[in-house]
Structures are given as C-alpha cells and as structure tokens.
Structure 1
Amino acid sequence: MRRIIISTESGADLPQDLADKYAIQVVPMHVIMDGKDYFDGSLPVEHIYDYYERTKKIPSTAATNVHEYQELFAKIQADFPECVIVHIGYTSKASASFHSAVIASEEFENLVLIDALNVTGGLAAIVLYAAALLEKEPSIELERFIAKIEEAVPKSRLAFIPGSLDFLRAGGRVSNIAYLGGALLKIKPVIELIDGKLVSTKKYRGKMSAVAEKLIHEYLSEYNINRDQLYFIYSLGLDESIKRRMDELAKEAGFENVRWIQAGAMISTHAGPGGFGIAGLER
C-alpha cells in the first residue's frame, strides 16, 4: 500500500502544529509589498497593517506559480519515495494557484489534484478532514479516499466578516463587490464561498461583537454542521472578549471541539485587521 501524502497552499491558514501532526505539505502563496515579493508565512501579519497605516496602500497577493509546485511535488516524492500525493487546493475561482498546480502536475505520476473551492478555514476544514480520515484508516484505498474528500468539498461552509472594507475592496476578490457600495458606514458584509467564488451574501450593522454573535447564530441555523469540529477564523486585532463569547456559543450549540485559526498574511491582506469567520463541514 503506497503512502498518501496530503499537500495544500498557505491560503488554507493551516495551523503549524496540525500540519506537523499529519505531515501535510504546505506550499506558500505570495504577498507583494513595497515592490518586494514575500512568501506567505514568512511575513508577519503586523507588517501588512503597519504598511497600510504608513502608506494607505494595501499589499497585493499572488498565486503559487508552476515552478513552485514542481519543486513541491518533486520534494515530496524525494522525501517519500513511492508515495501518492493528494493536493487539496485553494479555490480555482479566486486564484490562479490551482491552474498552476494542474500545469505542474503534467510532469508527475501518482499525483491527484482536488479543487477545494474554498479558502482559509473552509479549505483547512477539508484538508484536516482528509488528514483525520487517513490517520483513522491508514490503509484506505486511494479511490475511496479521493471520493470521500470530493464528497466533503460541497459540505464545507465558510462565512466571514472582514475587519476592514478598505482591505476587502482593494483585494477585488468578491464577485459582487458592488453590493458593498452601502459600505458607507458601520455596515459589515458577510462573505461566503458560493460555487468556489467569494460572494457577499448579507450585511450587518453594528460593532463586531454584536455582528459576530449574529453570524454564528444564523450560520448554525442555516447549515447543519457536524458537531465533531468547528473552526473559528480571525485576523489579528479581533478583541479577546469576542473570542471568549464565540467559544461559549459554540459550547452551547454542542460542539465537541473548536479550533481557532489565525489568518495568515495572504488572507489578512484581503480581510484586514479584526476580522472573524466560521467554518465547518455539514453532516
């Protein structure tokens, strides 16, 4: 039985301890600031916010390129001879990264690509579901493993409230950005992944403490999320009191495990400081 190795992009915001636990291989995406290209993960998020405060400009981001995927896949196969690589990728509808992986894959055998049609915690939920399944059934047949992941893709539900509309607007990744035109003030849009695209689905008014609570109630009412695991996503600057309240609400809703995921530099470039999100897999 060949060993299966899972890989993904840094845009999954996968916590390092979990990447290490499951030997998940992570390839960085890019943040470009002051004309310099940084690997996502090598740039402290605080630098992005400091840069904006100084310049009122927002860094740009870039996908993982073909060469970087070639290096990733070659290194995995060198480190784990005879393995099969299952790459669970950042949505192809919001980045060229998955397309680069497709091109790179032409040079490799024993490589399977799955478009997760999701980002940050929504992507992490799928990757970690796959990793837990592999840990539970290490001899699982590849075809069954792939089928189970593909079944999970449409069940991953992500919703988040950006901390700054300036960052979101500048990123230009939300398909119906005109919906945010009411952003005049104190309006906080909810961004969800619909068929792999980031879409503004509703808007709330008020402070983040109030709208975060409203988001979790509406999210859990709309989606029948598996109670085994829930993910909260935050960007630096989110008040600790909000985190504590979200933990309380998750416990009241019957979730056995809650994991907080910090948005990395790439995601934070679009979400801005103080953002909050929620992700999980539907039953």
Structure 2
Amino acid sequence: MSRIVLSTESGADLPGDIADKYNVHVVPMHIIMDGKDYLDGSLLVKDIYDYYDRTKQIPSTTATNVHEYQEFFTKIKEDFPDCIIVHIGYTSKASSSFQNAVLTAKDFEDIFLIDALNVTGGLTAIVMYAADLLEKEPAIEPVQLVERIESMVPKSRLAFIPGSLDFLRAGGRVSNIAYLGGALLRIKPCIELVDGKLVSTKKYRGKMSVVAEKLMQDYLNEYNIDKEQLYLIYSVGLDERIKERMDEVARETGFKHVKWMQAGAVISTHSGPGGFGIAGLEL
C-alpha cells in the first residue's frame, strides 16, 4: 500500500515538534520587508515588530508560488517514492497559495488538495485531525481519508484577537477613524473565519487580560468544541500571566489536551504583538 504523506503551509503555524512527530511537510509562505523577500520561518517575529517600531510600516506577505510548490512536491515524491500526498492548504479566500498548489498538482499524480478555509490554529486543528486519523487507521484509503478531512473543514473554529490596532491600521485593515475610536475606547476586534474569509465578528473593550477571558467564555459558549484537543494561539508579547490563566480555564472546562502555538511571521504581520486566539473542532 502506498504511503500517505500530509503537507500544509507555514500559515498553519504548526508547531515544529508536531510536524516532526507526524512527518507533516510544511511549505513556507513569504514576508516582504524593507525590500527583501524572507521565507516564513527564516525571520524572527521580533524583527517584524522592531521594523514597525522604526518605520511605522508593516511587511507584506505573499503566497507560496507555483515554482516553489513544484520543488516542494517533487522533493516529497523523491523522498517517498510512490507516496500519495494529501495537502491541506491555507484558506483560498485570503491567499493565492492554495490556487498555486492546484495549478502545480496538475503535473503530478496521486496528490489530493483540501482547502481548509482556515488559518493558523484553525488550519492546524484540521491537519492534526488528519494526522491522528492516519495514526489510528494507517490502512485507510486515500479517498476516504480526504472525505473525512473535508467533513471537518466546516467544523474548525478559530477566533483571534489582534494585540495591536496599530498593525491593523498600518496594513489598511481599519480606517483612521475606526482606529482612533478603538484606541480611545480600548476596543479590540475579534477576528473569525467565516466561509474562509477573515471577518471581525465581535468587539471587546478593556485590557487583554479581561478581553482574553471574555473571548474564551464566548467561544466555548457558542461552539460545542471537542474536549479532546484545544489549540491556544499567542503572538510574541502576550503576558505570561494571561497564558497561564487561559490554560487554567481550558483545563477547568474539561479539555484533555491543550496545545499552545506561537503565531508565525505571516500571521504576526496582521495581528501585532500580544495577540491571543483559540481554535478547535466542533463535535
């Protein structure tokens, strides 16, 4: 039976230890900063924040291109001859990366592509579902595996609060008027994935310590999340006391496994320092 190999993009923020354990292959997206092109993962998030402090500009991000996918899939096929690749991609509604994977896959056999319609922890939740399923059912047929992964796509729920409105404003995601009002009132938007699109669904007011707890309560009240696994996401700069409290709340709520994930460079260019998010799969 042919080996099934899972792959995804760096915008999943899949922790390295998990990628290594389950042999998930990760193709990098890009950050353009100060006229230079960096692969996601090769640049410290702190460098992005330092760049913004100096210039009041944020880097731009770009998708994995067709040539890179060609090299990426070719390398997997060379390392695992006759394997079947199941690629679970970053939402096509916010990046051209998945479409580039679709264009590339036409030149290969035995590649299945799944648009996760999600990012960061929401994408990781789907990748981990696939990895766990493969571990439990190693003889599963590829078509059946893909069908079961696709059935989980609409059940992956991600909610994220950016740490800084400055980054949203610098990136053109909020108007100056909205920024000034939000800054004065200490309003923080909640970003969720709706049909694969990043949408501001709620607004919270107050310190991040208060807002993070409100987000957690609202999230757990709104969604019936599988208690087996919860993913908590932070961007560099989030207070350790907030992380400790959110971990405590998750475990008090009955989650068996709580995995913290650091937002990588691509996600951090949109969230700014000190952001907090939560992701899981609905039952």
TM-score after normalising by structure 1: 0.97
2:152–2:281 Cα contact (<8 Å) kept:
yes
* Corresponding residue of 1:191: 191
* Corresponding residue of 2:50: 50
User: Residue 170 of structure 1: CA displacement?
Assistant: 3.3
Deviations 1:140-189 (A, max 9, x none): 111110111001100000000000112123335x6xx5695542431100
Deviations 1:37-67 (A, max 9, x none): 0000000011000001111111111110010
- CA distance in 2 between counterparts of 1:169 and 1:5 reads 39
Match runs of 1:13-52 below 5 Å: 13-52=13-52
Amino acid at match of 1:183: G
User: Residue 277 of structure 1: CA displacement?
Assistant: 0.1
* Corresponding residue of 2:201: 201
- CA distance in 2 between counterparts of 1:216 and 1:61 reads 29
SS in 2 for 1:226: coil
* Corresponding residue of 1:245: 245
- CA distance in 2 between counterparts of 1:61 and 1:164 reads 18
* Corresponding residue of 1:254: 254
- CA distance in 2 between counterparts of 1:67 and 1:170 reads 30
Match runs of 1:64-83 below 5 Å: 64-83=64-83
Deviations 1:49-96 (A, max 9, x none): 000111111111111001000111100001000000000000000001
Amino acid at match of 1:122: G
SS in 1 for 2:57: coil
> How many residues are matched?
280
1:234–1:261 Cα contact (<8 Å) kept:
yes
* Corresponding residue of 1:115: 115
* Corresponding residue of 1:60: 60
* Corresponding residue of 2:129: 129
Stretches of 4+ moved more than 4 A in 1?
Answer: 177-182
**Structure 1 regions of 5+ residues with no counterpart?**
none
1:190–1:200 Cα contact (<8 Å) kept:
yes
1:180–1:189 Cα contact (<8 Å) kept:
no
**Structure 2 regions of 5+ residues with no counterpart?**
none
